[in-house]
Amino acid sequence: MPASIKGKYYYLYLILDLYSKKIIAWEVYDRESAEYASRLMRRAIMSENRTKDKKPLVLHSDYGSP
């Protein structure tokens, strides 16, 4: 996402349920980081009460590996 300053960008971290198209969690940061992605994933799992679920989750990442 471009910023108002030339050359500055923001990164959208979004977790989307592909079947229902429900946005589970999202955050915007000024840099790309695996730590940010990890924190968002943990928050999303907790918000959906999936912490005690034994079914495996499938994580798909477009455009890289954060």
- In this predicted structure, the answer to whether residue 23 has a pLDDT above a threshold of 90 is yes
Domain range list for the chain: 11-47
Q: What CA–CA distance (Å, rounded) separates 14 from 28?
A: 9
Taking the whole predicted model, whether its pTM rises above 0.75 is answered as: no
> Within the chain, how many helices (H) and strands (E) appear?
1, 2
pLDDT averaged over every residue in the chain: 84
User: What is the predicted pLDDT for the residue at 27?
Assistant: 95
Mean pLDDT along residues 57-66:
70
Please say if the pLDDT value at position 45 is more than 70: yes
Q: Among 39, 30, 33, which Cα is nearest to 5's?
A: 30
Better-predicted residue by pLDDT, 18 or 24: 24
